[in-house]
Amino acid sequence: MPTLPRDSIAVLTAFAPLFTRRTFAHAQTLLVGTLLTHGKRTVTAALRAVGLSQKKHFQNYHRVLNELRRSKLRGIRTIAAVSRRRKVAA
């Protein structure tokens, strides 16, 4: 499966506290799949793009979005903090 560049992983780790360890691994997989997907950006399309369309228990990947919905405010704060750090570094 494709992996992300180190700079991207550094940004993503800021979001790790929003997820459980297992769900965060699924979130990273979905991100890579979404970046590789052409057309509609669905969970199924993202899994297909990284070669996991036949994976058993694919519903676990849908749970990533549910888990993120429960912590919207923390997610927004994390995005703001990451963007501030990126502006300062630039």
User: Which of the 8 DSSP states describes residue 17?
Assistant: G
For residue 19, the 8-state DSSP code is S
In this prediction, residues 68-79 reach a mean pLDDT of 74
Residue for token pair 């570094």: 89
Write the pLDDT tens digit of every residue in 25-56.
888 888 888 888 888 888 888 888 888 878 77
Is residue 55 in some structural domain? yes
CB-based contact 28:88 (threshold 8 Å): no
Query: Which comes out higher in pLDDT, residue 86 or 48?
Result: 48
| Phi/psi at 20 (5° precision) | -75, 165
Enter the pTM of the model: 0.68
How far apart (Å, rounded) are the C-alpha atoms in residues 58 and 8?
A: 25
Question: Which residues span the domain enclosing 79?
Answer: 6-89
Q: How many domains does the chain have?
A: 1
